[in-house]
Amino acid sequence: MTDYSRYLSPMGRQLHESAIRRMGAVLAKADDLVSFAAGYPDATLFPWDAFREISHELLSSRDATVLQYGPTRGYAPLIEAIVGVLDGRAITATPDQVLITSGSQQGLDLIARVLVSPGDSVLVELPAYTGAISAFKNAGANLVGVRQDAGDGINLEDLDAVCLRERAAGRTVTLLYLVPNFQNPTGSLLSLEKRQRLLEWAERRDMLIVEDDPYGVLYFDDAASAREARPIRADDRHGRVIYLSTFSKTLAPGFRVGWMVAPASLAERFETAKQAVDLMSGAFDQRIVLEAVRRGLLGELAPRLRAQYQAKRIVMEQALRRACGDRLTWPAPKGGFFLWATLPDGCVDQALLDRAVEQRLIFVIGSAFYVDGSGHDKIRLSFSAPTLDRIEEGAKRLAAAMQPALAT
């Protein structure tokens, strides 16, 4: 058999696989498996009837642009609609600052392609979203972690110290990546005071902030969480923030429609890079999303999404307490899809996952989210997709998987 490794480029040899996508491959092959792994939306919440009606109308129109090639930047009426969505999030943007992407993950890839040179240091949270880790690692970045404060997001003193240390070592440092709203994986919510200080820090240290915001509208409990989820980009007066978001968590991920907001000169460079990647995001997908926005589906769905995911979070917390007692601990998230659990002494994330698979349960190991090799005492549990019954069953299976380690 031919050894194809000798044909690989340096990038091809170092490609970094997402731990979350790897768990998805396990899920696809198994029967009766409970998945607390991938952060999928609840498919019962998709507005199926509305999508069916929109699709029928678009295809019945025989408008060639519905199925034809379109602009790399994105369908112009959708860009205008996104400007309106951004206004609802207190973000002022113009169409020349907006680029439609094939999910916000493509935005991360474009940022890595355009702004990162091999060997550059990119600052990320400890822990950080694995998709961002993959995108920046595949661009040859040196990923450097910054501590988080419990429940309150990134530690600003450590951030500044890490930035200055990397520069003192002669490395280029221009990017900070973070998820301020209900962070993946911790569920933490960055305080408003820290958001303002981050903008001041970025200006002082001449940094760009990549703000990834897929969960900002999925807050729980009360209006306080909505105010606290105000995007960093909303108060950016110096063009320091590149903002990413998506319709995947609010409408449906299958459309693969996300967007990025950047200073116009950078948006132009991202558009040029996108031409070499996919020419354009799916025209039909964009038209469906546009009609969904025009018909007010986002506003109709949001309260239901928040209520359903909060209810699932509560069920998972109750189920884990019944099954695991106080052996497993976690901070209660104010929004999003995840519980970030700390394992008891004697449990290690990968060994526990191996035993959990035997119990027909999967989750994502904590160490997958750390760029410094730590996190083996953590696991990420997603409550968004499983039914309430499967959440209950999964908690029992997790307790069974933990038992051998606790008995030694």
- Whether residues 176 and 118 fall in one domain: yes
Residue 52 falls inside a structural domain? no
Residue 173 falls inside a structural domain? yes
- Whether residues 319 and 387 fall in one domain: yes
- Residue partners of 160: CB distance under 8 A and separation at least 6: 201, 205
Question: What local confidence, expressed as pLDDT, does residue 2 receive?
Answer: 83
Residue 54 falls inside a structural domain? no
Task: Give the global pTM.
Answer: 0.94
Domain end: 251, 269, 297, which one?
Answer: 297
Q: Looking at residue 153, which CATH number applies to its domain? A: 3.40.640.10
CB 123 within 8 A of CB 205: no
- Whether residues 35 and 144 fall in one domain: no
Greater pLDDT, 325 or 20: 325
- Whether residues 63 and 12 fall in one domain: no
Q: What is the mean pLDDT of the chain?
A: 93
Question: What local confidence, expressed as pLDDT, does residue 222 receive?
Answer: 61
- Domain of residue 315, residue span: 4-46+301-407
Instruction: Give the closest residue to 321 by CA, choosing from 332, 333, 336, 310.
Output: 332
Which pLDDT tens digit goes with each residue over 290-312? Answer: 999 999 999 999 999 999 999 99
Residue 53 falls inside a structural domain? no
Calpha distance 96→313 (Å, rounded): 39
- Whether residues 262 and 352 fall in one domain: no
- Whether residues 283 and 144 fall in one domain: yes
pLDDT surpasses 90 at 404? no
Q: Looking at residue 331, which CATH number applies to its domain? A: 3.90.1150.10
Residue 361 falls inside a structural domain? yes
How does strand 258-261 pair with strand 241-246? Answer: antiparallel
pLDDT surpasses 80 at 223? no
Instruction: Give the closest residue to 386 by CA, choosing from 317, 312, 289, 298.
Output: 312
Token pair listed for 401: 């998987």
Question: What local confidence, expressed as pLDDT, does residue 9 receive?
Answer: 73
- Whether residues 16 and 36 fall in one domain: yes
Residue 66 falls inside a structural domain? yes
- Residue partners of 348: CB distance under 8 A and separation at least 6: 376, 377, 405
Tell me the average pLDDT across 341-370. Answer: 96
Domain end: 274, 297, 320, which one?
Answer: 297
CB 232 within 8 A of CB 180: yes
User: Which H or E element spans position 99?
Assistant: strand 98-101
How does strand 241-246 pair with strand 208-212? Answer: parallel
- Whether residues 66 and 210 fall in one domain: yes
- Whether residues 127 and 228 fall in one domain: yes
- Whether residues 140 and 283 fall in one domain: yes
- Whether residues 35 and 63 fall in one domain: no
CA 179-182-184 angle, 5° bins: 60
Which pLDDT tens digit goes with each residue over 73-94? Answer: 999 999 999 999 999 999 999 9
Tell me the average pLDDT across 332-359. Answer: 95
Calpha distance 186→127 (Å, rounded): 8
Residue 28 falls inside a structural domain? yes
- Whether residues 117 and 19 fall in one domain: no
Domain end: 297, 322, 344, which one?
Answer: 297
The sign of the CA dihedral 265, 267, 272, 273 is: positive
Residue 51 falls inside a structural domain? no
pLDDT surpasses 90 at 100? yes
Q: How confident is the model at residue 131 (pLDDT cuts 50, 70, 90)?
A: very high
Number of domains in the chain: 2
